[in-house]
Structure 1
Amino acid sequence: MSDPLAGMPHFGRYEMSLSDFENAVDDAVAQIPPDLAASIENVAIVVEERYLPRPGEDPHLVLLGLYQGVPLTERTEWSSIGHLPDKISIYRQAILDLCRSREEVVDQVLITVVHEIAHHFGIDDRTLHELGWG
């Protein structure tokens, strides 16, 4: 997800402890339907404070979440051999910057978790935006 703050007025941010935020992430993961959750393979979901743009990226890039790994649609029978877990990062400060209430944080965390898990299943950003999970 790139720069959700672009073009939006910024009226302040909601403060939430790390443990409360982690609980919101856990709650979002728990909302994934069981049959779909059973298909999530070898993925670590972590909370990080902020995405740090890499060399060559826009230094002002803001991400709410990031999937790093090999989507299930691109894996082969050999993909898991010697392969570290895929990683989904949920960026706490970026989400808090965007939200003004606990409800907004919980909603945005759910959207972000679903968005990044969808990448694990090979769904691209364009499709996610069309489905309302952008």
Structure 2
Amino acid sequence: MEIVPKYRFDRLVADALDDLPDELQHVLDNVVVQIHDRHPVEHDLLGLYEGVPHTERTGQEGPDVVSIYRHALCEMCETMDELVDEVYVTVIHEVAHAAGIDDERLHQLGWG
């Protein structure tokens, strides 16, 4: 599919954040979500979490960063419906990492 305009993609990410499960909402208090066109090295990377998981924080850390990559997500999807779904899955996946949830647990919860 074509690369959707930034303003439209930003809305998809905002909608995904609004729809996060209640169990993850508290994590957003300490997470900055950034949208980039593409990861500078891993061009097919959909999202990236950088920080100290909520379960390991001491209170001295700054905010965590979740990056969502617009071009990679658009390129992997064939329709807008697929893109909406994939943006949600990517956002929940990265925010869950901020909550200290690993990939195995994400799959058990049906979030990844």
Query: Quick check: 1:68–1:87 contact (8 Å CA) kept in 2?
Result: yes
**1:28-67 to 2 correspondences below 5 Å:** 28-34=16-22, 36-53=24-41, 62-67=44-49
Distance 1:27 1:120, change over 3 A: same
State the Cα distance separating 1:107 from its structure 2 match: 0.4
Q: 1:75 to 1:49 in 2, by over 3 A?
A: same
Structure 2 residue 5 is the aligned partner of structure 1 residue 17: yes
Q: Share of identical aligned residues, percent?
A: 44
Taking the aligned partners of 1:116 and 1:131, their CA distance within structure 2 comes to: 14
Higher helix proportion: 2
Number of positions where the alignment pairs a residue of Structure 1 with one of Structure 2: 112
- Correspondence for 2:106: 128
Alpha-carbon separation, structure 2, partners of 1:104 and 1:112: 12
- Cα drift, residue 51 of structure 1: 1.1
What TM-score comes out, normalization by structure 2 length? 0.87
TM-score between the two structures when normalised by the length of structure 1: 0.74
Question: 5+ residue gaps in structure 1?
Answer: 1-12, 54-59
> How big is each residue's C-alpha offset from its partner over 1:79-99, in whole Å with a ceiling of 9 and x where there is no partner?
33xx33110000001100100
* SS of equivalent to 1:66: strand
Name which one, 1 or 2, has greater alpha-carbon Rg.
1
SS of 1:41 mapped into structure 2: helix
Change (3 A) 1:35 1:116: closer
Counterpart residue number, 1:112: 90
Unaligned runs of 5+ in 2: none
Aligned amino acid, residue 75 of structure 2: D
Shift of 1:33: 3.7
Range with bigger deviation, 25-34 or 93-102: 25-34
Q: Is the 8 A contact 1:14 1:101 kept in 2?
A: no
